[in-house]
């Protein structure tokens, strides 16, 4: 099915073509017509499926068709759990929407940065991508109101609820007009998401795309047995011997991420760390440099293991194991995306062996463990 069958304007089809979107991904084929018909939608899909464009495109069409540009109200509110996702979603709106007639203005608002510039820039915004806390602050300071909002998108609902945003989301729902179109996206359908779903959606069109677990075959996984003493030197050996570029390394804590990053830099490896204790500016610039290939190594906590799309990421290294097998799958899912094969490498000490077995059992895939004591590095 071509994009031209999805009732998208010529301008939008051109924007898609110019940005290398040749034909719709399955989720887009299934969701775009339903949204265009005005239906509520439940999309069970992860990052990597093309879920963002599946709502960005029909939202842009609706704004164009509803003459909303003349109106100074928020037409569509997209609620997301993290600032990184807010920026990423807004970037897709801008990428596909910036050449459309009428200059549709979209904007991302999120906490952790000064509120004043956001207040000033809200002028003329039709599409607002927001994290819940900052949105409420903006509403309470009367910088914005949602009384004319036509469409609500909640993206990564499961993460939103896991992060404890339930109260904020409920409050925001109470401030929206009763008559509106609702689109709910979640990687998983757990009890909490089901509750929000029944509260929010009327007779939804439900689309479920193949979860990442099924795409795990795309990823080449390997594991190395190390000791706490050899772990650091072996990691450096891996990076240097394979001249690795664009390596995402996961640690289990902020302190460990900073320590590891410092060691790598001391050893001449181009690395930066990103985690919840870094300033917004530092996080954004590290991620941007990494995405465009200006930075070789990004050391991260699980903060960015979900939701952030990095195309063609060739290497993910688990320097420390995550607590949950789900997080392991999300971490390694940063590679092997969009049909690009990638490598996921895990370093395992004696004390991790049992937990690593549990992860493999959950994943239903066994990974060969290589003993580094036999290797020369």
Chain residues in the site for ligand AMP (CB under 6 A): 21-22, 24-25, 28, 47-53, 309, 311, 338
Nearest distance from C-beta of residue 183 to ligand AMP, angstroms: 13
What 135-138 contacts at long range (C-beta under 8 Å, 24+ apart), as own/partner pairs, is 135/77, 135/79, 135/109, 135/168, 135/172, 136/168, 136/171, 136/172, 137/111, 138/109
For ligand AMP, the closer CB: 32 or 257: 32
- Return the closest-CA partner of residue 302 out of 275, 342, 266: 275
Identify which of residues 49 and 149 has a Cβ nearer to ligand AMP in the complex: 49
Please choose, from the candidates 335, 329, 368, the residue with its C-alpha nearest in 3D space to the C-alpha of residue 247: 335
Beta bridge partners of 206: 42
Minimum CB distance to ligand AMP, residue 54 (Å): 7
Q: Which two tokens stand for residue 108?
A: 């991302």
Q: How far apart are CA 274 and CA 42, in angstroms?
A: 32
Q: Does an H or E element contain 272, and which?
A: strand 271-274
Structure tokens at 223: 């594991």
Closest of 322, 307, 302, 324 to residue 248, by C-alpha: 302
Tokens at residue 29, please?
Answer: 């084929």
Residue 215 C-beta: closest distance to ligand AMP, Å = 12
Q: Give the three-state DSSP class for 42.
A: strand
Instruction: Give CA–CA dist 327/321, Å, rounded.
Output: 9
**∠ CA(119), CA(173), CA(189), 5° rounding?**
115
**Smallest distance, Å, CB 66 to ligand AMP?**
24
In the complex, the smallest distance separating the C-beta of residue 154 from ligand AMP, rounded to whole angstroms, is 15
Nearer to ligand AMP, 45 or 152 (CB): 45
Q: In 3D, which of 92, 106, 96 has the Cα closest to residue 15?
A: 96
| Token duo for residue 44 | 């069970």
- Torsion sign over Cα 154, 159, 164, 166: positive
- Complex with ligand AMP: residue 53 or 172, whichever CB lies closer: 53
Which CB atom, from 155 or from 352, has the smaller least distance to ligand AMP?
A: 155
* In the complex, minimum distance from the CB of residue 47 to ligand AMP, in angstroms, rounded to a whole number: 4
Residue 152 beta carbon to ligand AMP: minimum distance, rounded to whole angstroms = 18
Q: Which is nearer to ligand AMP, 23 or 72 (CB)?
A: 23
CB closer to ligand AMP, 225 vs 306 = 306
Nearer to ligand AMP, 51 or 326 (CB): 51
Token reading at 248: 């995402």
Which lies closer to ligand AMP via its Cβ, residue 52 or residue 182?
52
State the nearest-atom distance from the C-beta of 84 to ligand AMP, in Å: 12
Whether the CB-CB separation of 298 and 251 falls below 8 Å is answered with: no
CB of 200 to ligand AMP, least distance (A): 21
Q: Which two tokens stand for residue 166?
A: 């339930």
Q: Which residue is nearest to ligand AMP (CB)?
A: 52
């Amino acid at each position: 099915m071509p994009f031209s069958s999805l009732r998208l304007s010529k301008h939008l089809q051109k924007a898609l073509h110019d940005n290398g979107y040749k034909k719709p991904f399955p989720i887009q084929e299934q969701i775009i017509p339903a949204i265009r018909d005005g239906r509520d939608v439940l999309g069970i899909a992860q990052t990597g499926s093309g879920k963002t464009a599946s709502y960005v495109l029909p939202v842009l069409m609706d704004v164009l068709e509803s003459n909303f540009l003349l109106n100074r109200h928020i037409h569509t509110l997209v609620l997301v759990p993290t600032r990184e996702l807010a920026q990423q979603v807004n970037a897709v709106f801008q990428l596909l929407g910036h050449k459309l007639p009428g200059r549709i203005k979209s904007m991302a608002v999120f906490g952790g940065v000064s509120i004043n510039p956001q207040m000033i820039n809200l002028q003329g915004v039709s599409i607002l991508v927001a994290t819940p806390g900052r949105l409420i602050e903006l509403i309470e300071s009367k910088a914005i109101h949602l009384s004319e909002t036509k469409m609500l998108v909640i993206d990564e609902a499961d993460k939103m609820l896991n992060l404890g945003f339930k109260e904020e989301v409920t409050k925001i729902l109470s401030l929206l007009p009763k008559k509106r179109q609702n689109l709910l996206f979640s990687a998983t359908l757990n009890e909490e998401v089901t509750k929000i779903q029944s509260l929010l959606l009327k007779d939804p069109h439900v689309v479920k795309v193949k979860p990442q677990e099924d795409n795990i075959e795309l990823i080449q996984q390997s594991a190395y047995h190390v000791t706490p003493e050899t772990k650091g030197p072996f990691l450096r050996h891996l990076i240097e011997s394979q001249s690795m570029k664009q390596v995402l390394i996961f640690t289990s804590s902020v302190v460990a991420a900073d320590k590891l990053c410092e060691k790598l830099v001391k050893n001449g490896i181009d690395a930066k760390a990103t985690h919840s204790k870094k300033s917004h500016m530092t996080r954004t610039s590290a991620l941007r440099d990494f995405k465009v290939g200006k930075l070789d190594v990004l050391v991260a906590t699980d903060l960015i293991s979900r939701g952030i799309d990095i195309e063609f990421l060739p290497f993910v290294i688990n320097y420390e194991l995550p607590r949950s097998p789900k997080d392991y799958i999300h971490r390694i899912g940063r590679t092997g995306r969009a049909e690009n094969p990638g490598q996921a490498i895990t370093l395992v000490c004696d004390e991790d062996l049992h937990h690593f077995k549990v992860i493999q059992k959950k994943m239903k895939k066994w990974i060969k463990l290589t003993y580094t004591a036999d290797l020369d590095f």
